[in-house]
Structures are given as C-alpha cells and as structure tokens.
Amino acid sequence: MATSKTTSILLFLFFFSLISGPKFAMANGQRTWCIAKPSSDEATLLANINYACSQVDCRVMQKGCPCFSPDNLINHASIAMNLYFRSKGCNLWNCDFRGSGLLVITDPSYGNCLYE
C-alpha cells in the first residue's frame, strides 16, 4: 500500500514538473541558450527577429542599449530568439524557428549584453 502511495506522489510530482516547466533550459544537466544558426540566410534571420520581437520585448537590441553592438542580423536574431525561447518556457520547440535555431551550452553573453 505504501508503495502505490509513494508511486502516485512521484508520478504527480513528475507530471507537475512537466506542466510548470523549468526556469531555464537544461540539456543533459547543463543550462542552454537559443541562438541563430550561423548558416541562416538574411531573410530567415530578419523573419526570426520580426517574429520573436512581436512576441517579446526586444528593447535590449535598440541603439544605445547593451545588446545593440555588434549591429548585425546574426547577433540581433540570436538575442531575439533567446528572449523568445526564455519567455515561452525554454522548450526545445521554442528554439526551432523553422530549423534556424540552435541550442548551445556555452553562454553567448558578451560585455554588458547578458543572455538571461
């Protein structure tokens, strides 16, 4: 009897953790970030920026803000994609961006631009 009760509690906790989601993404026990694949073309990067920034606040990429420089599409797309990824629960599918997203385990933060 105690075993079935313990099993029920463990199953509840397992499913609750799936529903509530992690505070940050983990892959094999390591924190992950979402960036743009370096092989992505300019149209894809621009589409990713436009989509992600329509869903989340991308002000950190504006001129004069910490993540503006370097001012290029791959950098801005990576920032926008990671902001979206974080805001949507850090699920693998939130970094797909039609195959142009890449999960990395090395923090892409630089200078004052922090990938949270």
Higher pLDDT, residue 83 or 12: 83
Per-residue model confidence (pLDDT) at position 116: 84
Domain boundaries of the chain, sorted by first residue: 22-104
pLDDT band of residue 30 (cuts 50, 70, 90) is confident
Of all residues in the chain, the percent with pLDDT exceeding 90 is: 73
Pairing of strands 33-36, 101-104: antiparallel
H/E stretch holding 83 reads helix 73-87
Average pLDDT score over residue span 55-82? 97
- Give the SS3 label for residue 79: helix
Q: What is the overall mean pLDDT for the chain?
A: 84
Question: Average pLDDT of 53-76?
Answer: 97
Per-residue pLDDT, 110? 96
